[in-house]
A and B are shown apart, each in its own frame.
Chain A
């Protein structure tokens, strides 16, 4: 069997993802979260792992630079990437939620201003509920936007809700459930079917 390239998202879920891979029998002896290396090989050399920014994982996989990727559903939804999403790894659980100051609810027919790191997710959600939306794209500290009057609402990923509460905001609705997924390049699935199915089977076994 040949080697497959796996793109692993840095950050929030990296540690748990590695743990899961170890459990499934893929060991990365050189790997360390703080390492500056970007490429790691599993002991049996079956997996070449590239360690990249979470928002870039879908790009690597969609373009075929990586055969498979491990990344949060939040990034997959935002990227709208044309990839297969074969497995829920059930780690990194959180939600996409909408929060506002003073529990202001969304009214149908009234345009809203929403700040988010996820403009595509935001657009799709408001399209679905039929509310006109103006999106303010921010790259961090989204909670600040309603406080200083930049936006009426925020749409962000929420784990415990602490950051939201500490900044005086209230969650008014949940949009979607998020967890870490295994994604696969369509061409790789066709040309490296055996290797990829093997990886999936082994991950599946430790998930149950």
Chain B
């Protein structure tokens, strides 16, 4: 979501969007909680220093900076995983018990070369202290579970291994500039340019063969494994494949394997990922709605040592994927009560009773000027000592409040 430079945030009055987003937040909170994840929050203001010393994470130019009255440079929360890991590491360098956290928070960026500030909501989970395949499986299955129950239609989670490319590179000698290009071409499945670059580089033929095939080592696990059989992979590279297979087995137990494809050319721009990485796509939405992976080495930056894995949804994209559904459409006002001024006490007490029962109710003194009154499903009139009910298909007059409430409850139950 863009917040433009010179204008007010145009989402402030967008009640439909805010309602739908709140529904989504509630669904996510509920699902995360059922897996034992507990909600946390991080500060909006963070020290720039924290990010300035960590290369290959958040682009430093993209962070929105501010200066406090002591001259300290601060940034508006550009990321959640890093400050969370830092705080945890400072509290307890070794974890004695596993920790499962979730968050639903805004992060702030200013994209390169634009003047637009970007504020976007992330919903993420982090699982600290457990480095097992089962922990990997739990996290990925949780992402799939959420997408499944949101009925977003066809979705795919691509599974790769950050260690695969890192291992491959560690086996060869390559200049820094060439490495950057190589990485970019693999990431972009840029097969023509990749071939050209490899022709130019002095690398062992075996490595070239593997790299050339990387972009299309994509698909169902069995197919990808079959293709890798024809490649001269080192034992260390085979180990990475074994990691993927083991996690895939766990995902079968969760019954979500049909949504998983393997992509060995998957490389995340966040350098802190150390092992399994994944990203999710849903039909009709052209961008990555979820990203995650294992980052066991991030805690080392802060003098601690604990395994960790997590992911985050981009809430705007996720919302775009499910905003057409009934659950996300703002409900109408149920009832407007019109009353004679002398019946005010009775009318308002009726309104309160209905509100206690969760109906959305408005009250107005009866008047001829109705143009300013919002639309509602039904109209109740308290006038001349009687109560009348009217909606698009029926009309009735009753004597007591109890009778009216009973009638309304019956009608709403039918609908």
Contact = CB atoms under 8 A, between A and B. Distances in A.
A13 to B, nearest CB: 15
Q: Which of B155, B189, B285 has the most CB of A within 10 A?
A: B189
A64 B286 contact: yes
B371 interface: no
A62 B261 CA distance: 21
Contact of A64 (B158, B188, B284): B284
B213 to A, nearest CB: 14
Interface string B206-240: 00000000010011000000000000000000000
Interface of A: 62-65, 82-88, 179, 181, 184-191, 193
A86 B282 contact: no
Interface residues of B, number: 22
Given A191-B156, A191-B281, A185 B190 contact: no
A190 B286 contact: no
B288 interface: yes
Contact of B188 (A84, A87, A88, A191): A84
A187 B192 contact: no
Contacts of A184: 189
Nearest to B157: A190
B287 A193 contact: no
B156 A64 contact: no
Interface in B277-298: 281-288
Nearest to B185: A85
Contacts of A84: 188-190, 215
Contact of B282 (A83, A179, A191): A191
B283 A181 contact: no
Contact of B192 (A64, A82, A85, A188): A85
9 contacts: A64-B285, A65-B286, A83-B188, A84-B188, A86-B215, A87-B191, A185-B286, A191-B281, A191-B283
Q: Which of B155, B219, B281, B286 has the most CB of A within 10 A?
A: B286
A30 B238 CA distance: 51
A contact patch SS: mixed
A65 B284 CA distance: 8
A189 B281 CA distance: 9
B189 A190 contact: no
Contacts of B191: 85-88
A187 B282 contact: yes
A88 B189 CA distance: 12
A88 B288 CA distance: 25
A79 to B, nearest CB: 12
A158 to B, nearest CB: 19
Contacts of B284: 64
Contacts of B189: 84-86, 184, 189
Contact of B287 (A85, A179, A181, A187): A187
A191 B192 contact: no
Contacts of A83: 188
A87 B285 contact: no
Interface string B153-180: 0111010000000000000000000000
A111 B373 CA distance: 67
A75 to B, nearest CB: 15
A88 B190 CA distance: 9
Q: Nearest 10 CB-CB pairs, A to B? A: A64-B286, A88-B192, A187-B281, A84-B189, A190-B156, A190-B281, A85-B190, A187-B286, A191-B283, A63-B286
B193 interface: yes
Contact of B155 (A63, A88, A179, A191): A191
Nearest to B154: A191
A187 B317 CA distance: 12
A193 B188 CA distance: 16
